[in-house]
């Protein structure tokens, strides 16, 4: 198993005075609990389910929280509306997993003006860093680079045709994974035949792969999917085309959720780069620090691994998600 030690991106300590902090430091509901509004992307993938589960477990009453949860069905405008409603409810803190990087400045400014600190988890935004307290996430560029390095090492010396199933257009995960991957295959004999979004879902991954197969057929040698779920959807399309996934078409994905690791163990995937969804405890701890007026770092990057078939067979029985 390869260990990816994401650089702890520290852009200087952030003093709480800059982001404002709910005057009460918590307990806006008067029930002794910290009320937190959590704006989740939706329920698009196995990764998202594991992330939501981790967040709900951490933001429990016994941990001192009252969680107001919203899943935006992958609609950026619905997610921004959810954050606006948290502000109107006067929550103590807001946590956001931003669907896309852009469009956040106005509502984050409204949260700041209301003295409600915002913590980003999972993905991040292009908004000015003074508009949120911190980001707890993953090194997406490193994840893409690790996937690209595996492709380059294994197929970079001979002419190889590759197709890409991209994540949600405009999301930091998709943008940064593409950057890292493309940098890693630069100068190799990898030829990117096509690259389209499958919105991180199995259904769209299958549909887009069907299109790739109709267009390129057996010319496709490798598939890079920005997440397991799109890769799992593509398996159905590959089999329906009479091809053997993992053999006729090599497959590398990112996430390492259970079903992805099962496909890897079964030889249908060939390599998976991990993206850890279990962020709840760390985010909850940081929310308490922010509300207590403690200084927090500008970002916290959770380390990832990468797995071969042998790793998957060994790890599957004990993986938490």
- Using CB under 6 A, list all residues that contact ligand GZL: 44-45, 47-48, 122-123, 138, 173, 200, 227, 229, 254-255, 275
For residue 100, give the nearest of 123, 131, 81 by alpha carbon: 123
Q: Which is nearer to ligand GZL, 86 or 200 (CB)?
A: 200
Please state, in angstroms and rounded to a whole number, the distance separating the CA atoms of residues 54 and 170. Answer: 25
Q: Which helix (H) or strand (E) holds 313?
A: helix 309-315
Q: Which is nearer to ligand GZL, 33 or 272 (CB)?
A: 272
Residues 108 and 130 sit within 8 Å (Cβ to Cβ): no
Least Å distance, CB 66 to ligand GZL, is 25
Least Å distance, CB 249 to ligand GZL, is 20
Q: Which is nearer to ligand GZL, 194 or 259 (CB)?
A: 259
End-to-end Cα, the chain, rounded Å: 17
Least Å distance, CB 230 to ligand GZL, is 8
Q: Is 194 helix (H, G, I), strand (E, B) or coil?
A: strand
Least Å distance, CB 45 to ligand GZL, is 4
Strands 222-225 and 160-166: parallel
Least Å distance, CB 71 to ligand GZL, is 12
Q: Which is nearer to ligand GZL, 123 or 142 (CB)?
A: 123
**Burial class, 244, CB count within 10 angstroms (exposed 0-12 / middle 13-18 / buried 19+):** exposed
Q: Which is nearer to ligand GZL, 45 or 270 (CB)?
A: 45
Q: Which is nearer to ligand GZL, 151 or 225 (CB)?
A: 225
Q: How many helices (H) and strands (E) does the chain have?
A: 11, 15
Least Å distance, CB 233 to ligand GZL, is 12
Least Å distance, CB 308 to ligand GZL, is 19
Q: Which is nearer to ligand GZL, 26 or 198 (CB)?
A: 198
Among all residues, whose Cβ is closest to ligand GZL?
A: 47
Residues 234 and 276 sit within 8 Å (Cβ to Cβ): no
Please state, in angstroms and rounded to a whole number, the distance separating the CA atoms of residues 41 and 26. Answer: 25
**Burial class, 65, CB count within 10 angstroms (exposed 0-12 / middle 13-18 / buried 19+):** buried
For residue 226, give the nearest of 185, 177, 162 by alpha carbon: 177
């Amino acid at each position: 198993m390869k260990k990816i030690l994401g650089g702890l991106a520290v852009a200087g300590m952030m003093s709480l005075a800059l982001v404002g902090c709910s005057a009460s430091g918590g307990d806006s509901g008067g029930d002794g609990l910290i009320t937190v509004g959590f704006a989740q992307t939706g329920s698009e993938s196995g990764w998202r389910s594991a992330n939501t589960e981790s967040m709900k477990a951490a933001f429990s009453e016994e941990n001192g929280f009252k969680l107001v949860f919203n899943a935006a069905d992958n609609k950026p405008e619905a997610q921004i509306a959810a954050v606006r409603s948290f502000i109107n409810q006067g929550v103590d803190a807001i946590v956001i997993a931003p669907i896309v990087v852009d469009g956040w400045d106005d509502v984050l400014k409204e949260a700041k003006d209301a003295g409600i600190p915002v913590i980003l988890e999972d993905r991040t935004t292009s908004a000015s860093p003074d508009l949120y307290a911190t980001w707890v996430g993953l090194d997406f560029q490193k994840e893409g680079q690790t996937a690209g390095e595996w492709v380059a090492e294994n197929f970079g010396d001979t002419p190889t045709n590759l197709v890409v199933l991209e994540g949600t257009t405009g999301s930091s995960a998709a943008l940064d994974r593409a950057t890292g991957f493309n940098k890693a295959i630069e100068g190799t004999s990898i030829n990117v035949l096509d690259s389209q979004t499958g919105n991180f879902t199995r259904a769209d991954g299958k549909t887009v792969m069907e299109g790739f197969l109709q267009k390129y057929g057996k010319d496709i040698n490798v598939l890079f999917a920005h997440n397991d779920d799109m890769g799992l959807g593509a398996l159905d399309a590959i089999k329906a085309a009479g091809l053997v996934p993992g053999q006729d078409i090599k497959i590398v994905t990112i996430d390492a959720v259970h079903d992805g690791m099962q496909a890897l163990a079964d030889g249908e995937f060939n390599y998976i780069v991990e993206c850890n969804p279990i962020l709840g405890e760390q985010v909850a701890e940081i929310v308490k620090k922010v509300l207590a007026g403690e200084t927090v770092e500008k970002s916290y990057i959770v380390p990832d691994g990468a797995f071969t078939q042998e790793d998957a067979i060994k790890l599957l029985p004990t993986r938490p998600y």
